[in-house]
Amino acid sequence: MHLLQEPHFWSAVAFVLFFVFFGKKLWRPLAAAMDNRTNQVRQELEEASRLRREAEEIYTAAQKEHEAAKFEAEKMLAASKEAAERIAENAKKEADAAAHRHEELVRLRLAASEQEAVNMVRREAADIAVKAAYEVISSVLTEEKDTPLIDNAIADLPKALAADRHVA
């Protein structure tokens, strides 16, 4: 009997009897609340799973777009480099052609200048030769000496003219 006098024993009996009489009434609302909470958690997990799938799809699409943009940018960069190289090559060719034309123009001007200088020297030499011949002839020939020379030249003129006709 010793057990019947223990207060813990009676607390345990009261606890069990409380659940026996009121357990069904308390269990249903508790079970319903737990079921509701379970359903709510399940829906939240499904929603989270759906959002994760959508996020992964968006991420995959963004990666594809990024790769496509990167590929397009690389193509554009390569095309730009090729165009720049062509432009540089054309510019170099044009510069070389312009330099060649300028050089040719300078050569032509130099040749014209040289020819003009040669012609000027010839004219000057001819003028000097004429002056020198005039001075020599005027100092050497006198009236007595030049009359026979003139007569001989007049006499030889028909022969010179005939010889000139045969040559031509």
Residue-wise pLDDT for 81-90, tens only, equals 999 999 999 9
Scored b (16 or more CB within 10 A) or e, 146-162 reads eeeeeeeeeeeeeeeee
Question: Of all residues in the chain, what percent carry a pLDDT higher than 90?
Answer: 54
pLDDT digits (tens, 9 = 90+) for 38-94: 999 999 999 999 999 999 999 999 999 999 999 999 999 999 999 999 999 999 999
* Domain region containing 94: 2-167
**H helix runs in the chain, sequence order:** 7-140, 143-167
Residue 77: what pLDDT?
94
- d(CA 35, CA 32) in angstroms, rounded, equals 5
Residue 1: what pLDDT?
55
Grade residue 166 by pLDDT with cuts at 50, 70 and 90: low
For residue 51 the two structure tokens come to 């959002």
Residue 111 scores a pLDDT above 60: yes
Residue 167: what pLDDT?
58
The number of distinct structural domains making up the chain is 1
Residue 44: what pLDDT?
95
Residue 161: what pLDDT?
78
In terms of pLDDT, which residue wins out, 36 or 135? 36
Grade residue 132 by pLDDT with cuts at 50, 70 and 90: confident
